[in-house]
Amino acid sequence: MSTEERAKAAAKNVEGKIQEGVGEMTGDTEDKAKGKAKQAEAEARQTKEDVKDKFK
């Protein structure tokens, strides 16, 4: 398990949630979409780490 990679994924998820929230408050659909994309990237990173753990 790579603690560093999990931490990066968690940080990216938080960053995405904040960006999505700002986009929601300001009505900026591009910011909102970018925030959701960051959250999806974080989820993919987390899943990758989960898979790596299962094969160790």
Q: Whole-angstrom Cα distance, residue 28 to residue 10? A: 24
Task: Compute the average pLDDT of residues 20-42.
Answer: 97
Q: At 55, phi and psi to the nearest 5?
A: -95, 5
Report residue 8's pLDDT band, with 50, 70 and 90 as the boundaries: very high
Q: How many CB atoms lie within 10 A of CB 4?
A: 8
Report residue 56's pLDDT band, with 50, 70 and 90 as the boundaries: confident
Average pLDDT, the chain: 94
pLDDT exceeds 70 at position 44: yes
SS3 37: helix
SS3 56: coil
Please give the single-letter amino acid code of residue 3: T
Task: Compute the average pLDDT of residues 27-53.
Answer: 95
